[in-house]
Amino acid sequence: MSLLIVEHVSKFFGGVRAVDDVSFELKAGEMLALIGPNGAGKSTLFNMINGQIRADQGSIRLLKNELIGRSTRGIWRLGVGRTFQIAHTFSSLTVVENVQIALLSHERKVFGFLRSAAGLYRGRALALLEQVGMVDQADRACHELAYSDNKRVELAIALSNDPALLLMDEPTAGMASRERSDLMILTRRLATERNIAVLFTEHSMDVVFAHADRMIVLARGRLIAQGSPEAVRENALVREVYFGSGVVSGLKSATARGVSDE
Ligand code: ADP
Ligand code: MG
């Protein structure tokens, strides 16, 4: 059974069809990569799922819950976590404090200033940091960390509300190839252990082919292919649009043609 069901979702900005009649599903524990050229609609689709942008048409359901029309916070509380393209941590706070704040926020505790919250949830925060391999750096300030370590902290923050679905916008941007694969291996382990569905955008085809179970391809707002990385790689339209000359052409007549291998 699918955890996330996206059906006929569209978003228009004036005359621009940023996302045009897109449908796909995602199962618990599955890692789905979303790829497409610049301007394809990836961020718009992402932001409709997390509630930052309201879809004009269609349906986005997490289990039985319709997400369209809910606030970002409401969607987060239903179990949708996210990480950002640029790591989002409070740089002057320590690693463990960043995670404690996320836990407090999830529990909706009101706190005046951090000092009073210092002891709260430290144990749970450390447990989350253990899972992302950052417990030994728990008391360092985030601004002292390497970029890839900040991404791990961000992952611990995203896990603080025990998400069923994790949205990752270009998780490996700005990283060297070794760090990339480490982060994706960690993500895979968390997805498996916690049965989390992961939807991520990615520019590096190496990352997609090495770490995604399935992929969907957007071009000019349309979903032009979906399936296993191997199947999508062989898709003629995808080759033309994405791996070919780099010139996006012939898409006006393109229909959303699946190459699902199921
Ligand atoms: P991607 O993330 O794949 O690069 P986007 O979702 O950012 O693509 O953009 C898809 C299309 O929608 C682009 O043509 C972009 O210019 C347009 N677009 C995105 N956001 C807005 C906005 N807030 N207002 C107007 N046009 C937008
Ligand atoms: Mg984008």
CA distances to 10, 14, 42, 78, 201 from 66, in Å: 15, 25, 20, 10, 23
- For the CA of 36, the nearest atom of ligand 1: 3
CA distances to 73, 76, 190, 213 from 124, in Å: 21, 19, 16, 30
| Domains, the chain, with CATH or none | 1-78+163-244 (3.40.50.300), 87-161 (no CATH)
Cite the beta strand spans of the chain per DSSP E. 2-13, 16-27, 31-35, 57-62, 65-66, 80-83, 165-168, 197-201, 214-219, 222-227
In angstroms, the CA 112 to CA 107 distance is 15
State residue 236's pLDDT score. Answer: 83
Determine the distance separating the centroid of ligand 1 and the alpha carbon of 244, expressed in angstroms.
23
In angstroms, the CA 198 to CA 165 distance is 6
34 CB within 6 A, ligand 1? no
Query: How many CA atoms does the CB half-sphere of 94 hold within 13 Å?
Result: 17
Q: Give the DSSP H or E segment for 47.
A: helix 42-49
Bridge partners, residue 24, by sequence: 6
18 CB within 6 A, ligand 1? yes
Bridge partners, residue 227, by sequence: 215
State residue 260's pLDDT score. Answer: 36
Determine the distance separating the centroid of ligand 1 and the alpha carbon of 42, expressed in angstroms.
8
Residue linked to tokens 């603080």? 160
* Other CB atoms within 10 Å distance of the CB of residue 151: 26
CA distances to 4, 61, 62, 231, 235 from 165, in Å: 8, 12, 9, 25, 28
The tens-digit pLDDT sequence of the chain (262 residues) is: 899 999 999 999 999 999 999 999 999 999 999 999 889 999 999 999 999 999 999 999 999 999 999 999 899 989 999 886 656 677 888 999 989 888 887 766 555 555 555 677 899 999 999 999 999 999 999 999 998 999 899 999 999 889 999 999 888 888 888 999 999 999 999 999 999 999 999 888 888 999 999 999 999 999 999 999 989 888 888 888 766 644 444 333 333 333 333 3
Determine the distance separating the centroid of ligand 2 and the alpha carbon of 261, expressed in angstroms.
27
Pairing between strand 31-35 and 80-83? Answer: unpaired
State residue 67's pLDDT score. Answer: 98
